[in-house]
Amino acid sequence: MSRLLEMRNINKFYYGNQVLKDVTITLDEGEILGLVGENGAGKSTLMNILFGMPVIHSTGGFGGEIVFKGERVNIDSPMKAMELGIGMVHQEFMLLPGFTVTENIKLNREITKPNFLSMVFGKRLELLDMEPMREEARKALDTIGMHSIDEMHLVAGLPVAHKQFVEIAREIDKRSLKLLVLDEPTAVLTESEAEILLNVVRLLSQKGISIIFISHRLHEVLEVAHKIVILRDGAVVGEGPKEKFTLFEIAEKMVGRKVENLELPPRKVPLDENKIIMSIKDLHVHMPGEEVKGFSIDIREGEILGIGGLAGQGKLGVANGIFGMYPATGKVTYMGKEYQLNSPLFALKNGIVYVSEDRRGVGLLLDESVEMNIVATAIQAFGMFTKRFLGFTIYDRKAIREHALRMIKELDIRCKGPAQPVRRLSGGNQQKVCLARAFTLNPKVLFVSEPTRGIDVGAKKLVLDYLVKLNREHGITIVLTSSELAELKSICDRIAIVCEGKLAAVLPPTASDVEFGLAMAGELEEVKAHG
Protein backbone atom coordinates (compact mmCIF):
# COMPACT_ATOMS: atom_id res chain seq x y z
CA MET A 1 0.00 0.00 0.00
CA SER A 2 1.30 3.40 -0.87
CA ARG A 3 0.82 6.63 0.95
CA LEU A 4 -2.18 8.63 -0.28
CA LEU A 5 -2.55 11.58 2.02
CA GLU A 6 -0.46 13.38 4.54
CA MET A 7 -1.65 16.42 6.41
CA ARG A 8 1.46 17.74 8.12
CA ASN A 9 1.59 20.04 11.12
CA ILE A 10 -1.77 21.62 10.51
CA ASN A 11 -2.43 24.74 12.58
CA LYS A 12 -5.55 26.80 12.42
CA PHE A 13 -6.68 29.90 14.25
CA TYR A 14 -10.21 31.26 14.40
CA TYR A 15 -10.24 34.86 15.55
CA GLY A 16 -7.16 34.37 17.68
CA ASN A 17 -8.31 31.04 19.10
CA GLN A 18 -6.15 28.12 18.14
CA VAL A 19 -8.47 25.31 17.12
CA LEU A 20 -5.88 22.98 15.57
CA LYS A 21 -2.43 22.46 17.03
CA ASP A 22 0.20 20.75 14.93
CA VAL A 23 -2.12 18.04 13.74
CA THR A 24 -0.54 15.43 11.51
CA ILE A 25 -2.45 12.56 9.97
CA THR A 26 -1.46 10.07 7.32
CA LEU A 27 -3.53 7.74 5.24
CA ASP A 28 -2.59 4.91 2.89
CA GLU A 29 -4.48 3.81 -0.17
CA GLY A 30 -7.50 1.75 0.75
CA GLU A 31 -7.05 2.48 4.39
CA ILE A 32 -9.91 3.39 6.71
CA LEU A 33 -9.11 6.06 9.24
CA GLY A 34 -11.45 6.43 12.17
CA LEU A 35 -11.44 10.02 13.40
CA VAL A 36 -12.92 10.54 16.83
CA GLY A 37 -13.20 13.42 19.24
CA GLU A 38 -15.68 15.50 21.17
CA ASN A 39 -17.45 18.38 19.49
CA GLY A 40 -15.10 21.25 19.16
CA ALA A 41 -12.12 18.92 19.15
CA GLY A 42 -11.31 20.08 15.62
CA LYS A 43 -12.61 17.25 13.43
CA SER A 44 -14.80 19.45 11.25
CA THR A 45 -12.16 22.12 10.95
CA LEU A 46 -9.62 19.53 9.82
CA MET A 47 -12.03 18.15 7.23
CA ASN A 48 -12.94 21.66 6.08
CA ILE A 49 -9.25 22.30 5.46
CA LEU A 50 -8.94 19.07 3.52
CA PHE A 51 -11.98 20.00 1.45
CA GLY A 52 -10.88 23.58 0.79
CA MET A 53 -14.05 25.05 2.25
CA PRO A 54 -14.38 28.82 1.84
CA VAL A 55 -14.83 29.26 5.61
CA ILE A 56 -11.19 28.32 6.08
CA HIS A 57 -9.86 30.81 3.58
CA SER A 58 -12.11 33.64 4.66
CA THR A 59 -10.71 33.30 8.18
CA GLY A 60 -7.05 33.57 7.29
CA GLY A 61 -6.19 30.14 5.91
CA PHE A 62 -4.18 27.60 7.86
CA GLY A 63 -0.64 26.60 8.69
CA GLY A 64 1.05 23.37 7.62
CA GLU A 65 0.96 21.41 4.40
CA ILE A 66 -1.07 18.80 2.61
CA VAL A 67 0.65 16.12 0.56
CA PHE A 68 -1.57 14.13 -1.74
CA LYS A 69 -0.18 11.22 -3.75
CA GLY A 70 3.32 12.39 -3.00
CA GLU A 71 2.80 15.93 -4.15
CA ARG A 72 2.30 19.08 -2.16
CA VAL A 73 -1.10 20.44 -3.04
CA ASN A 74 -2.86 23.69 -2.42
CA ILE A 75 -6.55 22.96 -1.92
CA ASP A 76 -8.18 26.35 -2.06
CA SER A 77 -11.71 25.39 -3.08
CA PRO A 78 -14.05 22.40 -2.91
CA MET A 79 -13.72 22.16 -6.68
CA LYS A 80 -9.98 21.65 -6.30
CA ALA A 81 -10.57 18.94 -3.73
CA MET A 82 -12.98 17.19 -6.07
CA GLU A 83 -10.50 17.38 -8.94
CA LEU A 84 -7.90 15.69 -6.76
CA GLY A 85 -10.36 12.91 -6.03
CA ILE A 86 -11.43 13.86 -2.55
CA GLY A 87 -15.13 13.36 -1.92
CA MET A 88 -17.20 14.16 1.12
CA VAL A 89 -20.56 13.06 2.38
CA HIS A 90 -21.82 15.83 4.58
CA GLN A 91 -23.87 15.44 7.69
CA GLU A 92 -26.77 17.29 6.11
CA PHE A 93 -27.91 15.88 2.82
CA MET A 94 -26.68 17.59 -0.31
CA LEU A 95 -29.40 16.23 -2.55
CA LEU A 96 -31.98 18.04 -4.64
CA PRO A 97 -35.40 16.64 -3.78
CA GLY A 98 -36.96 17.48 -7.15
CA PHE A 99 -34.37 15.50 -9.11
CA THR A 100 -34.21 11.79 -9.65
CA VAL A 101 -31.52 9.65 -8.09
CA THR A 102 -29.69 9.66 -11.40
CA GLU A 103 -29.84 13.41 -11.78
CA ASN A 104 -28.50 13.81 -8.27
CA ILE A 105 -25.69 11.36 -8.73
CA LYS A 106 -24.65 13.10 -11.94
CA LEU A 107 -25.27 16.64 -10.67
CA ASN A 108 -22.99 19.01 -12.56
CA ARG A 109 -21.23 16.02 -14.12
CA GLU A 110 -23.99 15.24 -16.58
CA ILE A 111 -23.22 13.36 -19.76
CA THR A 112 -24.17 15.46 -22.75
CA LYS A 113 -24.18 15.20 -26.50
CA PRO A 114 -23.57 18.07 -28.86
CA ASN A 115 -26.14 19.54 -31.22
CA PHE A 116 -26.41 22.38 -33.69
CA LEU A 117 -27.02 25.07 -31.06
CA SER A 118 -24.30 23.89 -28.72
CA MET A 119 -21.77 24.18 -31.53
CA VAL A 120 -22.69 27.83 -31.84
CA PHE A 121 -23.30 28.79 -28.23
CA GLY A 122 -21.09 26.44 -26.29
CA LYS A 123 -21.17 23.30 -24.25
CA ARG A 124 -23.87 24.36 -21.87
CA LEU A 125 -26.44 23.98 -24.61
CA GLU A 126 -25.60 20.34 -25.15
CA LEU A 127 -28.50 18.00 -24.49
CA LEU A 128 -28.40 15.69 -21.51
CA ASP A 129 -27.89 12.11 -22.53
CA MET A 130 -30.11 10.34 -20.03
CA GLU A 131 -29.42 6.75 -21.02
CA PRO A 132 -25.69 6.63 -20.21
CA MET A 133 -26.28 8.83 -17.16
CA ARG A 134 -28.75 6.29 -15.96
CA GLU A 135 -26.42 3.42 -16.63
CA GLU A 136 -23.58 5.00 -14.73
CA ALA A 137 -25.81 5.87 -11.80
CA ARG A 138 -26.99 2.27 -11.77
CA LYS A 139 -23.42 1.08 -11.78
CA ALA A 140 -22.48 3.34 -8.90
CA LEU A 141 -25.45 2.12 -6.89
CA ASP A 142 -24.63 -1.49 -7.66
CA THR A 143 -21.04 -0.96 -6.63
CA ILE A 144 -22.15 -0.24 -3.10
CA GLY A 145 -24.66 -3.06 -3.20
CA MET A 146 -27.73 -0.85 -3.36
CA HIS A 147 -29.56 -2.90 -5.95
CA SER A 148 -32.90 -1.99 -4.44
CA ILE A 149 -32.68 1.75 -5.08
CA ASP A 150 -34.45 2.73 -8.31
CA GLU A 151 -32.16 5.13 -10.14
CA MET A 152 -35.12 6.95 -11.72
CA HIS A 153 -36.95 7.54 -8.46
CA LEU A 154 -37.32 11.11 -7.19
CA VAL A 155 -35.10 11.74 -4.22
CA ALA A 156 -37.94 13.51 -2.40
CA GLY A 157 -39.70 10.25 -1.67
CA LEU A 158 -36.68 8.20 -0.59
CA PRO A 159 -36.20 6.94 2.96
CA VAL A 160 -33.41 8.64 4.89
CA ALA A 161 -31.04 5.71 4.70
CA HIS A 162 -31.35 5.54 0.93
CA LYS A 163 -30.53 9.21 0.66
CA GLN A 164 -27.33 8.49 2.54
CA PHE A 165 -26.43 5.76 0.08
CA VAL A 166 -27.28 7.97 -2.89
CA GLU A 167 -24.81 10.49 -1.52
CA ILE A 168 -22.14 7.82 -1.30
CA ALA A 169 -23.00 6.58 -4.79
CA ARG A 170 -22.55 10.10 -6.09
CA GLU A 171 -19.05 10.24 -4.66
CA ILE A 172 -18.23 6.76 -5.99
CA ASP A 173 -19.39 7.79 -9.41
CA LYS A 174 -16.62 10.35 -9.55
CA ARG A 175 -14.22 8.00 -11.25
CA SER A 176 -11.20 9.78 -9.89
CA LEU A 177 -12.35 9.25 -6.30
CA LYS A 178 -9.38 8.37 -4.14
CA LEU A 179 -10.49 9.51 -0.72
CA LEU A 180 -13.95 9.65 0.77
CA VAL A 181 -14.80 11.54 3.95
CA LEU A 182 -17.87 10.28 5.79
CA ASP A 183 -19.01 12.71 8.46
CA GLU A 184 -21.25 10.94 10.99
CA PRO A 185 -22.76 8.79 8.23
CA THR A 186 -24.63 6.54 10.65
CA ALA A 187 -26.19 9.28 12.75
CA VAL A 188 -29.52 9.05 10.95
CA LEU A 189 -29.50 5.30 10.36
CA THR A 190 -30.99 2.43 12.30
CA GLU A 191 -28.64 -0.25 13.54
CA SER A 192 -29.25 -2.63 10.66
CA GLU A 193 -28.88 0.17 8.13
CA ALA A 194 -25.68 1.24 9.84
CA GLU A 195 -24.43 -2.33 9.48
CA ILE A 196 -25.02 -2.19 5.73
CA LEU A 197 -23.21 1.10 5.56
CA LEU A 198 -20.19 -0.32 7.37
CA ASN A 199 -20.10 -3.13 4.84
CA VAL A 200 -20.16 -0.59 2.04
CA VAL A 201 -17.26 1.20 3.68
CA ARG A 202 -15.25 -2.04 3.80
CA LEU A 203 -16.13 -2.75 0.21
CA LEU A 204 -14.86 0.63 -0.91
CA SER A 205 -11.68 0.13 1.02
CA GLN A 206 -11.11 -3.16 -0.79
CA LYS A 207 -11.50 -1.30 -4.06
CA GLY A 208 -8.60 0.88 -3.02
CA ILE A 209 -10.50 3.94 -1.92
CA SER A 210 -9.26 5.47 1.28
CA ILE A 211 -11.82 6.53 3.83
CA ILE A 212 -11.93 8.95 6.71
CA PHE A 213 -14.71 7.78 8.94
CA ILE A 214 -16.01 10.21 11.53
CA SER A 215 -18.44 8.86 14.08
CA HIS A 216 -19.32 9.22 17.70
CA ARG A 217 -20.39 5.60 17.81
CA LEU A 218 -17.08 4.28 19.02
CA HIS A 219 -17.88 0.60 18.50
CA GLU A 220 -18.51 1.31 14.83
CA VAL A 221 -15.17 2.99 14.54
CA LEU A 222 -13.46 0.07 16.22
CA GLU A 223 -15.28 -2.32 13.98
CA VAL A 224 -14.50 -0.75 10.65
CA ALA A 225 -11.35 1.37 10.92
CA HIS A 226 -7.83 0.18 10.24
CA LYS A 227 -6.39 2.91 12.29
CA ILE A 228 -7.67 5.49 14.68
CA VAL A 229 -6.82 9.11 15.37
CA ILE A 230 -8.19 10.79 18.49
CA LEU A 231 -8.42 14.56 18.58
CA ARG A 232 -8.89 16.58 21.70
CA ASP A 233 -8.80 20.37 21.98
CA GLY A 234 -7.35 20.62 18.51
CA ALA A 235 -4.45 18.24 19.08
CA VAL A 236 -3.83 14.58 18.33
CA VAL A 237 -3.88 12.75 21.66
CA GLY A 238 -3.91 9.20 20.40
CA GLU A 239 -3.03 7.52 17.15
CA GLY A 240 -2.30 4.05 15.91
CA PRO A 241 -3.69 0.83 14.48
CA LYS A 242 -7.05 -0.04 15.92
CA GLU A 243 -5.64 -3.12 17.64
CA LYS A 244 -3.87 -0.74 19.95
CA PHE A 245 -7.12 0.61 21.36
CA THR A 246 -10.00 -0.57 23.44
CA LEU A 247 -13.33 1.18 23.74
CA PHE A 248 -12.24 2.34 27.19
CA GLU A 249 -9.04 3.89 26.04
CA ILE A 250 -10.67 5.78 23.23
CA ALA A 251 -13.37 7.13 25.52
CA GLU A 252 -10.81 8.19 28.09
CA LYS A 253 -8.50 9.88 25.62
CA MET A 254 -11.41 11.60 23.94
CA VAL A 255 -12.60 13.47 27.02
CA GLY A 256 -9.64 13.27 29.35
CA ARG A 257 -8.51 16.58 30.67
CA LYS A 258 -6.62 17.88 33.58
CA VAL A 259 -9.35 19.34 35.69
CA GLU A 260 -8.58 22.67 37.26
CA ASN A 261 -10.19 22.54 40.61
CA LEU A 262 -12.02 25.73 41.29
CA GLU A 263 -12.10 26.58 44.91
CA LEU A 264 -15.82 26.31 45.42
CA PRO A 265 -17.16 28.32 48.34
CA PRO A 266 -19.21 26.38 50.86
CA ARG A 267 -23.00 26.52 50.93
CA LYS A 268 -24.80 28.28 53.74
CA VAL A 269 -27.36 25.49 53.83
CA PRO A 270 -26.28 22.03 52.77
CA LEU A 271 -28.09 20.43 49.84
CA ASP A 272 -31.09 18.32 50.66
CA GLU A 273 -31.40 15.36 48.30
CA ASN A 274 -35.11 15.12 48.88
CA LYS A 275 -35.97 18.72 48.15
CA ILE A 276 -36.91 18.58 44.50
CA ILE A 277 -37.59 21.92 42.85
CA MET A 278 -38.40 20.54 39.42
CA SER A 279 -39.20 17.06 38.35
CA ILE A 280 -39.01 16.25 34.65
CA LYS A 281 -40.62 13.09 33.36
CA ASP A 282 -40.51 11.75 29.83
CA LEU A 283 -39.64 15.07 28.22
CA HIS A 284 -39.79 15.16 24.43
CA VAL A 285 -38.55 18.25 22.67
CA HIS A 286 -38.83 18.79 18.96
CA MET A 287 -35.65 20.73 18.43
CA PRO A 288 -34.12 19.98 15.04
CA GLY A 289 -30.64 18.59 15.50
CA GLU A 290 -31.02 18.30 19.26
CA GLU A 291 -34.12 16.16 19.61
CA VAL A 292 -35.02 15.08 23.14
CA LYS A 293 -36.80 11.73 23.25
CA GLY A 294 -37.98 10.89 26.72
CA PHE A 295 -35.62 12.58 29.13
CA SER A 296 -36.34 12.40 32.87
CA ILE A 297 -34.58 13.85 35.89
CA ASP A 298 -35.27 15.45 39.26
CA ILE A 299 -33.61 18.77 39.88
CA ARG A 300 -32.75 19.42 43.52
CA GLU A 301 -33.32 22.80 45.02
CA GLY A 302 -30.13 24.82 45.30
CA GLU A 303 -27.89 22.51 43.33
CA ILE A 304 -25.82 23.11 40.24
CA LEU A 305 -26.82 20.39 37.84
CA GLY A 306 -24.67 19.81 34.81
CA ILE A 307 -26.02 18.43 31.56
CA GLY A 308 -23.44 17.03 29.18
CA GLY A 309 -23.30 14.86 26.10
CA LEU A 310 -22.15 14.93 22.50
CA ALA A 311 -23.55 17.31 19.93
CA GLY A 312 -26.82 16.27 18.38
CA GLN A 313 -27.71 13.98 21.27
CA GLY A 314 -30.29 16.34 22.72
CA LYS A 315 -28.54 17.92 25.71
CA LEU A 316 -29.31 21.40 24.38
CA GLY A 317 -32.92 20.44 23.75
CA VAL A 318 -33.65 19.97 27.45
CA ALA A 319 -33.34 23.63 28.49
CA ASN A 320 -34.91 24.83 25.26
CA GLY A 321 -37.86 22.55 25.83
CA ILE A 322 -38.42 23.46 29.48
CA PHE A 323 -38.31 27.17 28.71
CA GLY A 324 -40.61 26.86 25.70
CA MET A 325 -38.31 27.81 22.83
CA TYR A 326 -39.15 24.58 21.01
CA PRO A 327 -42.33 22.52 21.16
CA ALA A 328 -42.15 20.08 24.05
CA THR A 329 -44.30 17.41 25.67
CA GLY A 330 -43.89 15.57 28.92
CA LYS A 331 -44.82 15.78 32.57
CA VAL A 332 -43.01 18.44 34.53
CA THR A 333 -43.72 19.35 38.12
CA TYR A 334 -42.31 22.56 39.48
CA MET A 335 -42.34 23.39 43.18
CA GLY A 336 -45.03 20.84 43.72
CA LYS A 337 -47.31 22.16 41.01
CA GLU A 338 -47.85 21.19 37.44
CA TYR A 339 -45.61 23.09 35.10
CA GLN A 340 -46.92 24.50 31.85
CA LEU A 341 -44.66 23.69 28.92
CA ASN A 342 -44.39 25.69 25.69
CA SER A 343 -44.86 29.08 27.32
CA PRO A 344 -41.80 31.23 27.89
CA LEU A 345 -44.02 33.76 29.64
CA PHE A 346 -45.21 31.14 32.13
CA ALA A 347 -41.62 30.12 32.74
CA LEU A 348 -40.49 33.69 33.32
CA LYS A 349 -43.40 34.46 35.63
CA ASN A 350 -42.48 31.44 37.72
CA GLY A 351 -38.86 32.35 38.07
CA ILE A 352 -37.41 30.11 35.41
CA VAL A 353 -34.86 31.92 33.32
CA TYR A 354 -32.92 30.63 30.37
CA VAL A 355 -29.61 31.78 28.94
CA SER A 356 -29.42 30.38 25.43
CA GLU A 357 -26.49 28.54 23.91
CA ASP A 358 -27.06 30.68 20.82
CA ARG A 359 -25.82 33.92 22.27
CA ARG A 360 -25.98 35.99 19.12
CA GLY A 361 -29.05 34.33 17.66
CA VAL A 362 -31.30 34.15 20.71
CA GLY A 363 -29.65 35.76 23.67
CA LEU A 364 -28.97 39.26 22.41
CA LEU A 365 -30.35 42.17 20.48
CA LEU A 366 -27.09 42.78 18.68
CA ASP A 367 -27.82 46.30 17.54
CA GLU A 368 -29.32 47.42 20.81
CA SER A 369 -27.49 49.01 23.68
CA VAL A 370 -26.04 47.09 26.58
CA GLU A 371 -28.67 48.51 28.91
CA MET A 372 -31.64 47.57 26.74
CA ASN A 373 -30.27 44.06 26.41
CA ILE A 374 -30.12 43.79 30.16
CA VAL A 375 -33.60 45.10 30.91
CA ALA A 376 -35.81 44.46 27.84
CA THR A 377 -37.07 41.11 29.06
CA ALA A 378 -37.71 42.46 32.55
CA ILE A 379 -39.76 45.32 31.13
CA GLN A 380 -41.64 43.00 28.83
CA ALA A 381 -42.41 40.21 31.22
CA PHE A 382 -42.71 42.00 34.55
CA GLY A 383 -43.17 45.66 33.75
CA MET A 384 -40.04 46.48 35.73
CA PHE A 385 -38.33 49.84 35.11
CA THR A 386 -41.52 51.54 33.96
CA LYS A 387 -43.33 54.72 34.92
CA ARG A 388 -46.64 56.37 34.10
CA PHE A 389 -46.53 59.20 31.63
CA LEU A 390 -49.53 60.89 29.97
CA GLY A 391 -51.61 57.83 30.65
CA PHE A 392 -49.05 55.52 29.06
CA THR A 393 -46.90 53.10 30.99
CA ILE A 394 -43.54 53.69 29.43
CA TYR A 395 -40.11 52.50 30.34
CA ASP A 396 -38.02 54.65 32.57
CA ARG A 397 -34.65 55.60 31.07
CA LYS A 398 -33.28 56.73 34.40
CA ALA A 399 -34.11 53.58 36.30
CA ILE A 400 -32.77 51.50 33.42
CA ARG A 401 -29.50 53.42 33.36
CA GLU A 402 -29.02 53.04 37.10
CA HIS A 403 -29.62 49.33 37.01
CA ALA A 404 -27.41 48.86 33.96
CA LEU A 405 -24.54 50.73 35.55
CA ARG A 406 -24.86 48.56 38.64
CA MET A 407 -24.78 45.36 36.59
CA ILE A 408 -21.88 46.59 34.47
CA LYS A 409 -19.92 47.16 37.63
CA GLU A 410 -20.91 43.95 39.32
CA LEU A 411 -20.08 41.75 36.35
CA ASP A 412 -17.19 43.88 35.14
CA ILE A 413 -18.67 44.21 31.65
CA ARG A 414 -16.03 45.91 29.55
CA CYS A 415 -17.90 48.40 27.37
CA LYS A 416 -17.74 52.06 26.47
CA GLY A 417 -20.90 52.61 28.44
CA PRO A 418 -24.44 51.35 28.85
CA ALA A 419 -25.44 52.86 25.51
CA GLN A 420 -22.93 50.91 23.42
CA PRO A 421 -24.46 48.35 21.03
CA VAL A 422 -23.60 44.84 22.19
CA ARG A 423 -22.51 43.79 18.69
CA ARG A 424 -19.17 45.46 19.26
CA LEU A 425 -18.48 43.75 22.58
CA SER A 426 -16.23 40.71 22.82
CA GLY A 427 -17.82 37.29 23.24
CA GLY A 428 -17.05 37.20 26.93
CA ASN A 429 -18.61 40.56 27.59
CA GLN A 430 -21.62 39.64 25.52
CA GLN A 431 -22.04 36.58 27.71
CA LYS A 432 -21.85 38.75 30.79
CA VAL A 433 -24.63 40.90 29.37
CA CYS A 434 -26.71 37.75 28.95
CA LEU A 435 -26.05 36.80 32.57
CA ALA A 436 -26.92 40.30 33.73
CA ARG A 437 -30.19 40.02 31.85
CA ALA A 438 -30.88 36.68 33.49
CA PHE A 439 -30.05 37.97 36.97
CA THR A 440 -32.30 41.01 36.45
CA LEU A 441 -35.21 38.60 36.12
CA ASN A 442 -34.75 37.26 39.70
CA PRO A 443 -34.57 33.61 38.73
CA LYS A 444 -35.31 30.68 41.03
CA VAL A 445 -34.01 28.18 38.50
CA LEU A 446 -31.49 29.37 35.96
CA PHE A 447 -30.88 27.31 32.84
CA VAL A 448 -27.55 28.26 31.30
CA SER A 449 -26.40 26.64 28.07
CA GLU A 450 -22.87 26.73 26.73
CA PRO A 451 -21.98 29.88 28.67
CA THR A 452 -18.30 29.72 27.80
CA ARG A 453 -18.52 28.78 24.14
CA GLY A 454 -16.27 30.96 22.04
CA ILE A 455 -14.95 33.16 24.83
CA ASP A 456 -11.41 33.49 26.09
CA VAL A 457 -9.98 31.76 29.11
CA GLY A 458 -10.06 34.72 31.47
CA ALA A 459 -13.70 35.46 30.72
CA LYS A 460 -14.54 31.77 31.09
CA LYS A 461 -13.41 31.77 34.68
CA LEU A 462 -15.34 34.97 35.43
CA VAL A 463 -18.52 33.54 33.97
CA LEU A 464 -18.24 30.32 35.92
CA ASP A 465 -17.37 32.21 39.11
CA TYR A 466 -20.44 34.36 38.65
CA LEU A 467 -22.65 31.30 38.25
CA VAL A 468 -21.24 29.87 41.48
CA LYS A 469 -21.83 33.19 43.18
CA LEU A 470 -25.46 33.28 42.05
CA ASN A 471 -25.85 29.77 43.36
CA ARG A 472 -24.18 30.27 46.71
CA GLU A 473 -25.20 33.83 47.56
CA HIS A 474 -28.65 34.01 46.05
CA GLY A 475 -29.58 30.36 46.36
CA ILE A 476 -30.44 30.09 42.68
CA THR A 477 -30.71 26.57 41.35
CA ILE A 478 -28.61 26.30 38.22
CA VAL A 479 -28.84 23.86 35.35
CA LEU A 480 -25.65 24.20 33.34
CA THR A 481 -25.58 22.61 29.90
CA SER A 482 -22.14 22.40 28.34
CA SER A 483 -20.08 20.46 25.81
CA GLU A 484 -17.04 21.03 27.95
CA LEU A 485 -16.85 18.28 30.46
CA ALA A 486 -14.10 20.01 32.40
CA GLU A 487 -16.34 22.96 32.94
CA LEU A 488 -19.16 20.77 34.22
CA LYS A 489 -16.82 18.91 36.48
CA SER A 490 -15.43 22.08 37.94
CA ILE A 491 -18.62 23.58 39.33
CA CYS A 492 -21.47 21.03 39.21
CA ASP A 493 -22.83 18.94 42.03
CA ARG A 494 -24.08 16.27 39.67
CA ILE A 495 -23.69 15.76 35.94
CA ALA A 496 -26.36 14.24 33.76
CA ILE A 497 -25.22 12.82 30.44
CA VAL A 498 -27.68 12.83 27.58
CA CYS A 499 -27.38 10.33 24.78
CA GLU A 500 -29.81 9.76 21.91
CA GLY A 501 -32.28 12.12 23.54
CA LYS A 502 -32.44 10.23 26.81
CA LEU A 503 -30.71 10.35 30.14
CA ALA A 504 -27.73 8.02 29.85
CA ALA A 505 -26.28 8.45 33.31
CA VAL A 506 -26.08 10.78 36.26
CA LEU A 507 -22.50 10.93 37.46
CA PRO A 508 -20.73 12.76 40.25
CA PRO A 509 -18.11 15.26 39.10
CA THR A 510 -15.48 12.95 40.53
CA ALA A 511 -16.36 10.08 38.17
CA SER A 512 -13.57 8.94 35.88
CA ASP A 513 -13.11 10.14 32.33
CA VAL A 514 -13.72 6.64 31.09
CA GLU A 515 -17.15 6.63 32.62
CA PHE A 516 -17.99 9.98 31.11
CA GLY A 517 -16.65 8.95 27.75
CA LEU A 518 -18.64 5.76 27.69
CA ALA A 519 -21.79 7.46 28.91
CA MET A 520 -21.51 10.02 26.13
CA ALA A 521 -21.11 7.30 23.54
CA GLY A 522 -24.15 5.61 25.02
CA GLU A 523 -22.16 2.53 25.92
CA LEU A 524 -21.78 2.80 29.66
CA GLU A 525 -24.68 0.45 30.31
CA GLU A 526 -23.53 -1.97 27.65
CA VAL A 527 -20.00 -2.08 28.96
CA LYS A 528 -21.23 -2.51 32.50
CA ALA A 529 -23.54 -5.31 31.43
CA HIS A 530 -20.98 -7.18 29.39
CA GLY A 531 -17.99 -6.39 31.53
Partner 1 sequence: MQKRMSLKDILIANAVPITFFILTFLAVLVAKIPILFLLSEIVRRLSRNTFLVLALIIPVVAGLGLNFAIVLGAMAAQAALFFVVDWGITGLSGILLAIVISSVISIFLGWIAGKTLNRAKGREMITSMILGFFANGVYQLIFLFFVGSLIPFKKTDFLLPQGVGLRNTVDLFGIVDGALNDLLTLNIGFITIYIVPLIFVVGLCVFLTFLLKTKLGQDFKAVGQDMHIARTAGIDVDKTRIIAVILSTVFASIGQVIYLQDIGTINTYNSHEQIGLFSIAALLVGGASVKKANIWNAILGVILFHALFVVAPSAGNRLFGQPQIGEFFREFIAYAVIAFALAMHGWRSRKGK
Partner 2 sequence: MVNFGSLREAIKRIDIPTLIIVFFLIGLFILAAATKVSVTTLLSDSIVRIGMNGVLVLAMLPTIRAGIGPNFGLPVGIIGGLLGGLIVMQYQVAGPIGFWIAVGISIVINFVLGWIYAWLLDKVRGQEMMVETYVGYSIVAFMSIMWLVLPFTNPEMIWAIGGKGLRYTLTLQNYFDKALNNFLRFQIGKNFSFPTGLVVFFAGSCYLVWLFFKTRPGLAIDLTGQNELYAISSGVNPKKARRNAVILSTVIAGVGILVYAQSYGFLQLYQAPLFMTFPAVASILIGGASIRRATITNVVLGTILFQTLLTVSLPVLSQVTRGDITEVLRLIVSNGMILYALTRTPKEAS
Question: Per-residue DSSP letters for 371-420?
Answer: HHHHHHHHHHHH-TTEEEETTEEEE-HHHHHHHHHHHHHHHT--SS-TTS
Which partner, partner 2, partner 1, none, binds residue 377 by CB below 5 to 8 Å per kind?
partner 2
Contact between 127 and partner 2 per CB under 8 A: no
Which partner, partner 2, partner 1, none, binds residue 383 by CB below 5 to 8 Å per kind?
partner 2
What is the smallest separation between the CB atom of 34 and partner 1, expressed in angstroms? 25
Q: What are phi and psi of 30, to 5 degrees?
A: 75, 5
* Alpha carbon separation from 335 to 15, 351, 352, 461, 479 (Å, rounded): 44, 11, 11, 31, 16
Candidate ranges 65-73, 238-246, 297-305, 320-328; the one touching partner 2 (CB under 8 A)? 320-328
246 three-state secondary structure: coil
Positions touching partner 1 (CB under 8 A) are: 78-79, 82, 94-99, 103, 107-108, 110, 112, 117-118, 123-128, 157
- Write out the binding residues for partner 2, residues 356-395 only, by CB under 8 A: 356, 358, 361-368, 376-377, 379-381, 383, 386, 389-390, 392-395
Contact between 323 and partner 2 per CB under 8 A: yes
Q: Which is nearer to partner 1, 22 or 110 (CB)?
A: 110
How far apart, in whole angstroms, are the C-alpha atoms of residue 7 and residue 433? 41
Q: Are 476 and 469 in contact (CB under 8 A)?
A: no
What is the smallest separation between the CB atom of 521 and partner 1, expressed in angstroms? 30
- Write out the binding residues for partner 2, residues 34-73 only, by CB under 8 A: none
Candidate ranges 51-59, 131-139, 147-155, 317-325; the one touching partner 2 (CB under 8 A)? 317-325
How far apart, in whole angstroms, are the C-alpha atoms of residue 164 and residue 377? 43
| Long-range CB contact pairs, 512-519, < 8 A, 24+ | 512/252, 513/251, 513/252, 513/255, 513/256, 513/257, 513/485, 514/248, 514/251, 514/252, 516/251, 516/255, 516/308, 516/485, 517/248, 517/250, 517/251, 517/252, 517/254, 517/255, 517/256, 518/247, 518/248, 518/251
Which partner, partner 1, partner 2, none, binds residue 97 by CB below 5 to 8 Å per kind?
partner 1
What is the smallest separation between the CB atom of 96 and partner 1, expressed in angstroms? 5
Amino acid (1-letter code) at residue 432:
K
Q: Which is nearer to partner 1, 52 or 501 (CB)?
A: 52
What is the smallest separation between the CB atom of 68 and partner 2, expressed in angstroms? 34
What is the smallest separation between the CB atom of 346 and partner 2, expressed in angstroms? 8
Which residues sit at the interface with partner 2, rule CB under 8 A? Answer: 323-325, 344-345, 348-349, 354, 356, 358, 361-368, 376-377, 379-381, 383, 386, 389-390, 392-395, 423
